[in-house]
Amino acid sequence: MLWLYILHSLSTGTAGLSSLAVPVVGVVSAWIQLGERPGVLEAAGMGLIVIALAILTARELAASQPKFSEAPAAGPGPGAVGDRR
């Protein structure tokens, strides 16, 4: 049910990225509910997954932001209507 909500409300890229977090959620859920402690390699793998997801999400957010030029917008010059010099 939650997965269908995510697919409906998020962009395709974001929903796809969230599916990559499923192994991390599974290991953390097993740790909390069943008392299974992840080993060093599992923890390192989860760390790499989280770092990769953070990088990919940051790239997607940066690409979706509008680009603004650094030059100021040109306003009306001298002699324009309403210029009282």
Name the residue ranges covered by the structural domains of the chain: 39-64
Q: Which residue has the higher pLDDT, 79 or 4?
A: 4
Is the model's pLDDT at 62 over the cut of 60?
A: yes
Q: Which of 53, 49, 58, 42 is nearest to 16 (CA)?
A: 53
With residue 78 as reference, give the H or E element that holds it: none
CA distance 77 to 72: 14
State the pLDDT at residue 48: 93
pLDDT digits (tens, 9 = 90+) for 4-51: 877 788 777 777 777 788 888 888 999 999 999 989 999 999 999 889
State the pLDDT at residue 74: 58
State the pLDDT at residue 18: 75
Tokens in use for 31?
Answer: 């740790």
